[in-house]
Structure 1
Amino acid sequence: MNLRIWDTNLKVRLIGEALFNMLFWMYFPFITIYFGMALGNSIAGMLMALPPIFSMLGSLAGGALADRIGRRSVMLIGAAVQTAMFAMFAISPSIWVDYLAFVGLGLGGAIYRPASSAMVADLVPADRRRQVFATFTTANNIGAVLGPVLGAVFFFHYRQALLWTCAIVLLLYFVAIYRIVRETLPSTAKKQDRSTVVIHAFKEQVKGYGIIFRDKVFFIYIVAGIASLVPIMQLDLYLAVYVTDEVPAQTLFPWFERSPVLSGTELYGWLIGYNGLLFVLFVLPVTNWLRNWKERDVFILSSLLAGVGTFAVGLNANVWFLLFVTTIFTFGEIVRSPVTQSFISGYAPEHARGQYMAADNLQYTIGRLLAPMTVSLSGWMPPMGIFGIILICALISIVLYIQLFKARGNDQ
């Protein structure tokens, strides 16, 4: 992908979002630990269940507003909310203000994302969208590799400095959007009446989403996505519990006398880092390799790799076998990432693209609510029973994706 020919809007967003994403991963992985240390793990666990709900509402509102007042305006609102929340977090006098700031950060990001994705769909021809979305995914995952390593030091020892840095970066990004990024809302959407009073506008938004979810094809797509995400989301859920509790300490290089010995916790850290590294190295090449594949086949391949790879984790505890199966289920996630956004941006009507992008995020919100059930079930089921459930979810998603494209009437 030649970045020099990209629209200026995309270049500004690529740089801004990549930089912010690295800062995001410097605090996000440690936020549950932070609240657990202050309030106890049981309370922290309950508190962590609430942000996805607010994010879902913010995403729906952001998508509707993106189709009504414009992509750029909604992105500015999202960036402004996040800037204010980082500043609030930095000067917070109590743990509860910290929590409100954290919820606000999720809300601001949820408002921002549908408009951001819709802007890509507005600017990029359908045949190039996978590559563009893959480039954004690569930039974001560079932050996911570097961020946790730096955050382990900065979040706990220099938290205020880190939070102020995040606030300043978001403020600069807000200014860049305001000064450089132009509006891309299609003319068909601009023709809608914007003089509607607030209550009527809200009713219209709810009505719009009702139409979306009565769309049979879109509904199957959401349900299939939820089922396929259950395996993909296990890396920081059940796999963390399984590797930490069930995998014994072992040498990393058994053929060397002075090889480091990894505990289950340390091995899990290696798997997380390896997962992020694979994303950075391969999301663009894999997207390019599969650019001529039908969307149906990419979705099926993704579910198959994620399901089989995650299931295989329970078959052997050897470190190199675990790295091998991590490669399999990571590639299941890699091949899925760009095609989901390109599918929905091509399927959604031009005048309702923001709403469809927002509704598309529901599969991630609901998936994030359902995926932790594997951790709860692990208290009374053996590991292979849990891995079996994960594999069944993947197989269900494959059946639904086949049905999806039959209902759509083509095999794109």
Structure 2
Amino acid sequence: MNKLHLNIKVRLAESFFSSFITFMFLPFMAIYFAKYFGETLAGILVAVITVVGLVSSLYGGQLADKLGRKKIMLLSEVLRFVALFFLIFCNSPWQTWPNLTFVLMILLNIGSGLALPAAQAMVVDVSTPDNRKLIYRLEYWSSNLALAIGVGLGGVLFSNHLFELLIIAAAGSLLSFIIVKFLIKETFFTEFKERVHLRKLYYDYKITWNDKLFMIYILASILALSLEFQVMNYTGVRLSNSTDQFSLWSTDRFQFSLGGVELFGLLRSENAVIVILFSLTVGLLSRIIKDRWLLILGVLINAVGYYFIAIGNNAWLLLAMMIPATVGELMFYPVKQTYLAEIAPAESRSVYMAVNSLVGRAATMLGGAAITIGHWLPVWLMGLLFLGTGVMAAWLFVIFMNRMEERAAPLDSTTSPTIMQ
């Protein structure tokens, strides 16, 4: 840890604050929009916000390669703070403006989208192949710690104290800006100032779209990662619409139960806590199970866990099924990232990483679609759709790994004669 570049240490701290701010209220915004606009329109609004963030990520990747990493990260933090500052007034005790809240959420997502490729590129700039696994492991752990604290706090405050929650988020955003401004050093310099435009954007990313193996990987990753967004968005709205209290403990003299929103927050926190506590333990499976099977089994176990969360109405069943859902995630995610490093060519690595950063945006968009579809379909059918998504992701990963082996075969055959000589 002491040998890591100062930028990386600062980035880990800044990433924690940014993730903490996001997780305090973003997972609950689907519930917010469903309350004020209805479930059907809520899914569309979430999808629109996500698409805007996706486009801004593409543009942010190009800007970071033309103007520098730090400038884009600072611009992002300014946009995020402005959006959160005005969100406070749009959701105050004196008035609520859902329409303006939607516009400000778009601005917030633009800021987040611009920052992601720049921050990832900055990490690559100052890291080495030897310490990147450690860096990404620390980032993953930090993000889930922020998720556990942020979602836990959001679950308690969102329903009745959104105003106070947004004040905390704005203060955290301001702190994040200060960290980037005064502690992070620029890592990208160029003597040439090139104009940035959408046509150039197309040619910069065309190389990745023509790589069929990479596109299979991206599609499989989107399906695998979207499962959590789909199920949790759908389940959050489903639980929030329930008028029942979910009992956790009941005796003749004492009864402890939670409302739907509180139970949803507890589920999100449980997911993060399991990741924080058992990441290294589950990682030991890689010593006894081949990466190929660890990836496939992880995706399928994750899908089965989320299937029962999507259809369950018992609090203990939901909490129990979050365990296999999370363990499956811990199994497949590190292996998936390892394969990404193998298929990204050195001369185009930054572009490949930028495209891969869009996986989360696309997964979030599918999560928004699940709200709209869930309004029209019965619970049991939604559960089957979620399970089918996981199976499809596993199947695509099988195709991907088979083609990886086929691509490596010619290299092996060309080196064999040399060895024979």
- TM-score, normalized by the shorter chain, greater than 0.5: yes
**Is residue 183 from structure 1 mapped to residue 186 from structure 2 by the alignment?**
yes
How many Å separate the matches in 2 of 1:270 and 1:167? 24
Q: Does residue 269 of structure 2 align to residue 273 of structure 1?
A: yes
Percent pairwise identity = 27
**1:291 Cα shift?**
7.6
How big is the shift at 1:120? 2.7
Which of 81, 84, 89 is equivalent to 1:83? 81
How many angstroms apart in 2 are the aligned matches of 1:40 and 1:317? Answer: 22
Distance in 2 (CA, whole Å) between partners of 1:316 and 1:77 is 43
* Aligned match for 2:301, one of 279, 294, 305: 305
Q: Identify the residue that residue 388 of structure 1 maps to in structure 2.
A: 384
> Are the structure 2 counterparts of residues 291 and 213 from structure 1 closer, same or farther at C-alpha, using a change threshold of 3 Å?
farther
The correspondence of residues 21-36 of structure 1 with structure 2, limited to 5 A, is: 21-35=19-33
Larger CA deviation: 105-114 vs 127-136? 127-136
Q: TM-score, normalised by structure 2?
A: 0.80
Matched-pair contact (CA < 8 Å) for 1:56–1:365: yes
- Provide the residue aligned with 2:211 in structure 1: 215
The CA distance in 1 between the partners of 2:250 and 2:166, in whole Å, is 42
Q: Amino acid of the residue matched to residue 182 of structure 1?
A: K
Instruction: Give 1:209 deviation, angstroms.
Output: 1.2
Q: Is the 8 A contact 2:231 2:386 kept in 1?
A: no
Match of 1:133, as an amino acid? Y
**Which whole-Å CA distance do the structure 1 matches of 2:379 and 2:38 have between them?**
27
Change (3 A) 1:214 1:220: same
Distance 1:250 1:168 in 2: 34
Aligned pairs for 1:12-51 (under 5 A) are 12-35=10-33, 43-51=41-49
Q: Say if 2:99 is the partner of 1:101.
A: no
Q: How many angstroms does 1:147 deviate by?
A: 2.1
* Map of 1:58 onto structure 2: 56
Alpha carbons of structure 1 residues 223 and 244: separation in structure 2 relative to 1, 3 Å:
same
CA contact (8 A) 1:235 1:272 kept: no
In 1, Cα distance between equivalents of 2:88 and 2:260: 34
| Alpha-carbon distance, 1:17 to partner | 1.9
Partners in 2 of 1:318 and 1:91 — Cα distance? 38
Letter paired with 1:72: K
- In structure 1, what is the equivalent of residue 412 of structure 2? none
Aligned partners of 1:176 and 1:384: how far apart in 2?
A: 47
Amino acid at match of 2:82: A
- What is the deviation of 1:64? 2.0
Q: Retained in 1: the 8 A contact 2:62–2:196? A: no
In structure 2, which of residues 108, 115, 119 is the aligned counterpart of residue 116 of structure 1?
119
Is the aligned partner of 1:233 residue 2:236? no
Question: In structure 2, how many angstroms separate the alpha carbons of the residues matched to 1:236 and 1:40?
Answer: 18
Length, aligned pairs only? 402
- 2:99 & 2:332 partners in 1: Cα distance? 37
CA-CA distance at 1:59 after TM superposition? 0.8
Q: Give structure 1 stretches of 5+ with no counterpart.
A: none
Q: 2:14 corresponds to which letter in structure 1?
A: G
1:331 aligned residue: 327
Deviation at 1:208, TM superposition (A): 1.8
Assess if the C-alpha contact under 8 Å between 2:152 and 2:265 holds in 1.
no
Separation in 1, partners of 2:39, 2:239: 20
Task: Give the superposition deviation at 1:317.
Answer: 5.6
Show the counterpart of 2:358: 362
| Residue identity matched to 1:180 | L
Task: Find the aligned partners of 1:361 and 1:123 in 2 and give their Cα distance.
Answer: 19
Cα distance per residue 1:40-67 (max 9 Å; x no partner): 6655444333111110101111122233
Contact 1:134 1:284 survives alignment (8 Å): no
Pairwise CA RMSD: 3.6
Contact 2:307–2:384 (Cα < 8 Å) also in 1: yes
Paired residues of 1:67 and 1:355 also in contact (CA < 8 A) = no
**Quick one: distance in 1 between partners of 2:12 and 2:185?**
15
Asked if 2 retains the 8 angstrom alpha-carbon contact of 1:114 and 1:355, the reply is: no
Gaps of 5+ in 2: 410-421
Q: Using the alignment, how far apart are the partners of 1:108 and 1:255 within structure 2?
A: 50
Q: Secondary structure at the match of 1:260?
A: strand
Contact 1:85 1:104 in 2 (8 A): yes
Give the 3-state SS of the residue equivalent to 2:224 in structure 1: helix
Partner-residue secondary structure (3-state), 2:230? helix
Contact 1:243 1:264 survives alignment (8 Å): yes
Matches of 2:242 and 2:164, distance apart in 1: 38
CA contact (8 A) 1:133 1:338 kept: no
| Paired position in structure 2 for 1:72 | 70
Deviation of 1:255 (Å): 8.0
Does the Cα contact within 8 Å between 2:60 and 2:117 map onto a contact in 1?
yes
Q: Is 1:145 matched with 2:148?
A: yes
Q: Label 1:194 to 1:374 Cα distance change in 2 as closer, same or farther (>3 A).
A: same
The Cα of 1:340 is off from its aligned counterpart by: 4.3
> 2:318 and 2:235 mapped to 1: Cα distance?
11
TM-score, structure 1 as length reference: 0.81
What do the CA deviations read for 1:187-230 (whole angstroms, capped 9, x no partner)?
xxx67x8333344xx42321121221111111111111122234
Letter in 2 for 1:65: L
CA separation of 1:214 and 1:245: change in aligned 2, threshold 3 A: same
Deviation at 1:357, TM superposition (A): 2.3
Partner Cα distance (1:397, 1:158) in 2: 39
- How far residue 406 of structure 1 moved from its aligned partner, in angstroms, is 2.6
CA contact under 8 A between 1:130 and 1:291: conserved in structure 2?
A: no
